[in-house]
């Protein structure tokens, strides 16, 4: 699969995120909705677009584990090795988070789902703006969008930017794991 990174489009997506916007972008398997994870107003917009209850929590995606240090509690050496062995890649981990992490991100949990993406556009975006909220681009109960057209059909002009690109070629959205070995999806 060939990826072309258009610097102008990346700059527009970064500008939208940094000004409190919500964007759509291609991920490993489906299109995602994203915003800055410290911007509660933007997170509320994502939840409203998805018609998703805040209690469930969201995934935060990053370009490196170091980008998540302000969000997560330190991991033991064994746990960190387990997590790092699956990254970058399509595995989201539910990890203990800091108390100050917004309930809009973690839901009713004391943990936060996080992922280091191996998708070139997602990685480039996170390298520019830092971690992002990453949730599938679809209203609750609807099939995840697998095309930019489907994203537009779902959300019309409610997004601040749609970052053009291609999906990463995977068939299923990211797997969600916990440190105790459970696989949630």
Sequence-distant (6+) residues with CB within 8 A of 170 are 28, 29, 90
Residue 63 and residue 123 in contact, taking contact as beta carbons nearer than 8 Å: yes
Sequence-distant (6+) residues with CB within 8 A of 3 are 120, 121, 165, 166
Tokens of 96: 């203990």
pLDDT score of 17 more than 70: yes
Q: What's the pLDDT band for 4 if we cut at 50, 70, 90?
A: low
Tell me, what's the pLDDT at 2?
Answer: 46
Mean pLDDT of 47-60: 96
Residue 101 and residue 112 in contact, taking contact as beta carbons nearer than 8 Å: yes
How does pLDDT run across 66-108, given as a tens digit for each residue? 999 999 999 999 999 999 999 999 899 999 999 999 999 999 9
Class of domain 7-178: alpha beta
Q: What's the pLDDT band for 1 if we cut at 50, 70, 90?
A: very low
pLDDT score of 3 more than 70: no
Residue 56 and residue 107 in contact, taking contact as beta carbons nearer than 8 Å: yes
Burial of 65 (0-12, 13-18, 19+ CB in 10 A): middle
């Amino acid at each position: 699969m060939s990826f072309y990174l258009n610097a102008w489009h990346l700059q527009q997506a970064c500008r939208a995120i940094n000004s409190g916007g919500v964007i759509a972008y291609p991920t490993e398997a489906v299109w995602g909705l994203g915003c800055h994870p410290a911007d509660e107003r933007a997170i509320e917009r994502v939840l409203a677009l998805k018609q998703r209850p805040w209690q469930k929590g969201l995934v935060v995606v990053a370009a490196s584990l170091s980008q998540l240090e302000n969000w997560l509690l330190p991991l033991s050496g064994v746990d960190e090795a387990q997590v790092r062995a699956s990254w970058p890649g399509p595995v989201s981990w539910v990890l203990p988070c800091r108390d100050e992490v917004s309930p809009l991100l973690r839901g009713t949990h004391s943990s936060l789902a996080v992922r280091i993406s191996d998708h070139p556009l997602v990685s480039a975006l996170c390298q520019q703006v830092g971690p992002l909220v990453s949730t599938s681009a679809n209203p609750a109960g609807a099939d995840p969008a697998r095309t930019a057209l489907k994203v537009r059909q779902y959300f019309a002009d409610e997004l601040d930017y749609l970052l053009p690109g291609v999906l990463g070629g995977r068939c299923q959205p990211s797997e969600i794991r916990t440190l105790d070995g459970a696989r949630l999806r």
